[in-house]
């Protein structure tokens, strides 16, 4: 327990340092980007632009802006105002978008793990059979096909040919299923391949042979002695996969008109929405760091030999 707490404390320290470094780098990059957040096809008069810059403290010296903004984040958790969604603060934008992205990610991951692990186990146990070959072929396809192609196919199939799901939008369970499946499919494919590889390796192990020799049933051996070991690569993949599902939903958010966070991430950058872009980068940094920490803990849970350092 002590070790776990110490580990978490150390990780937290590193996270603070990383977030600070990320903040600094993104601040510099945004300052270097050409174009102003206030430009539009209709040019803004210099007087108006100066007023706007003053309103958002963009007229201070860069160093002053750097510290003021950092101070606001650290003391008040205030990420500033969005420049392009003027009625919203960055905190509000994230508060509205994150639950949508998170709930989509939950469905996508649960689907991916259940399907991926099941397929992987079956493939490994019945290695070389038709089931194995066809499942692994599907998995390769699943990894290779980008999710917007998958989404288009899914819409064609389940919206127009067999009309069981709505075309797009957010607000009901039926509207989540299609995007969650498309988002989870590549992850499921990857998980299936990792599970299969892990299982095959575990099946060769001596403790497994011993377990069989003791006369345990095949099911017991696989569930209790093979599967936990085979899960290690899957778990280590789940950290980045979660982050990927949360950030990578941009295309699907667009196709299915979902009000998640992914689209803000891109628009903030292309439209020079300084504060929103920085806020998004920081949120994703924290998410990624948290996920990796959870993965490391999960490692120690699954494999008694792993020590938290």
Partner 1 sequence: MPLELRRALVAVTLVIVVVAVLWASRFDAMPPADFSFQNGTDPKTLDPHRATGQPEGHILFNIFSGLLEALPEGPPDPETGVQALTPQPSVAAGYEVSPDNMTYTFTLRRDATWSDGVPITSDDFVWSWTRMLHPETACEYNFQLFSLPYAEAYATGVVDVGDRVEVELWDRPGETTTSEANPQNFPRGTIVYGILKEIAKPPEPSLPENASKELISSTTAKWQSSWVYTIDVAKRDADDILWDDVESVETFASDLDSTLVQPDTRRAHGVLVAFDQLGAMETPDPYTFIVHLKDPLPYFPFLATYYPLFPVPRHCIELHGKPMWTRPENIVTNGPYRVGLRMLRDRVRLVKDPNWFNADSVEVETIDAMSIESANTALNMYTTGELDWVYDQPITLIEELKGRDDFHVAPQLAAYYYELNTLRPPLDDVRVRRALALAINREQIVQEVTKAGQAPAYFLVPPGIAGYQSPPGIDGTLDEAKALLAEAGYPGGRGIPKFTILYNTNEAHRAVAEVIQQQWQNNLNIQVGLQNMEWGSFLDKRQQKRFDISRAAWIGDYPDPNTFLDLWLSESIQNNGSWVNEDYDRLLAEAASESDTTKRMSLLSQAEAIWVDEVPAIPIYHYVSKHLVKPYVNGFFLSPQDQHPLRLLRLENSR
Instruction: Looking at residues 147 to 176 of the shown chain, list those that interact with partner 1 (rule: CB under 8 A).
Output: 155, 159-160, 163, 166-173, 176
Closest contact distance (angstroms) between CB of 17 and partner 1 is: 26
Which one, 135 or 258, has the nearer CB to partner 1? Answer: 258
Query: For residue 183, which of 283, 250, 238 has the smallest C-alpha distance?
Result: 250
Q: How far is the CB of 131 from partner 1 (least distance, A)?
A: 27
Between the CA of residue 128 and those of 112, 197, 242, what are the distances in Å? 23, 13, 31
- Would you give the binding string for partner 1 spanning residues 178-217, x where CB under 8 A is met? ----------------------------------------
79 in Cβ contact with 73 (< 8 Å):
yes
Alpha-helical regions (H) of the chain = 2-32, 46-55, 62-76, 90-125, 130-144, 147-155, 173-204, 206-213, 218-220, 227-247, 250-255, 262-270, 274-302
Q: How far is the CB of 43 from partner 1 (least distance, A)?
A: 5
Q: Which is nearer to partner 1, 38 or 135 (CB)?
A: 38
What 8-state DSSP symbol labels residue 89?
Answer: B
Which tokens hold the place of 261?
A: 């966070």
Contact predicate 205/229, CB 8 Å: yes
**Using CB under 8 A, which of the segments 68-76, 100-108, 115-123, 135-143 binds partner 1?**
100-108
- Least distance between partner 1 and beta carbon 51 (Å): 4
CA–CA dist 112, 247 (Å, integer): 16
- 109 and 242 in contact (C-beta within 8 Å)? yes
Torsion angle in degrees (nearest 10) through CA of 60, 65, 67, 72: 110
Considering beta carbons, is residue 1 or 63 the nearer one to partner 1?
A: 1
Give, as ranges, the residues between 214 and 273 that touch partner 1 (CB under 8 A): 253-260, 263-264, 270-272
Contact set for partner 1, span 4-33 (CB under 8 A): 4, 33
| Residues 114-153 contacting partner 1, CB under 8 A | none
207 or 209, CB closer to partner 1? 207
Least separation in angstroms between CB 249 and partner 1: 12
Interface pattern 44-83 for partner 1 (x via CB under 8 A): xxxxxxxxxxxx--xx---------------------x--
CA within 13 Å, CB half, 46: 0
Q: How far is the CB of 140 from partner 1 (least distance, A)?
A: 28
């Amino acid at each position: 327990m002590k070790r776990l707490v110490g580990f978490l404390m150390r990780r937290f320290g590193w996270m603070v340092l990383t977030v600070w470094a990320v903040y600094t780098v993104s601040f510099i990059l945004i300052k270097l980007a050409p174009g102003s957040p206030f430009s539009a096809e209709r040019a803004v008069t210099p007087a108006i632009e100066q007023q706007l810059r003053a309103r958002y403290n963009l007229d201070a010296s860069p160093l002053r802006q750097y510290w003021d903004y950092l101070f606001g984040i650290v003391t008040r958790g205030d990420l500033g105002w969005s420049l392009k969604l003027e009625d919203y603060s960055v905190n509000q934008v994230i508060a509205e978008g994150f639950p949508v992205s998170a709930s989509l990610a939950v469905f996508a991951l649960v689907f991916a793990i259940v399907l991926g692990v099941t397929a992987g186990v079956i493939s490994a146990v019945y290695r070389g059979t038709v089931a194995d070959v066809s499942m692994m072929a599907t998995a390769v396809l699943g990894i290779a096909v980008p999710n917007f192609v998958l989404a288009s196919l899914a819409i064609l199939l389940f919206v127009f040919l067999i009309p069981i799901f709505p075309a797009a939008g957010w607000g009901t369970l039926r509207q989540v299923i299609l995007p969650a499946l498309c988002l989870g499919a590549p992850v499921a494919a990857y998980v299936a391949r990792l599970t299969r590889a892990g299982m095959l390796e575990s099946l060769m192990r001596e403790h497994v042979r011993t377990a069989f020799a003791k006369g345990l049933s095949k099911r017991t051996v696989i569930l209790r002695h093979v599967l936990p070991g085979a899960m290690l690569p899957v778990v280590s993949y789940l950290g980045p996969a979660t982050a990927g599902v949360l950030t990578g939903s941009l295309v699907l958010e667009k196709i299915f008109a979902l009000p998640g966070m992914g689209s803000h991430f891109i628009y903030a950058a292309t439209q020079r929405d300084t504060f929103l872009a920085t806020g998004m980068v920081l949120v994703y940094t924290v998410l990624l760091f948290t996920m990796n920490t959870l993965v490391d803990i999960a490692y120690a849970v699954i494999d008694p030999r792993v020590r938290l350092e």
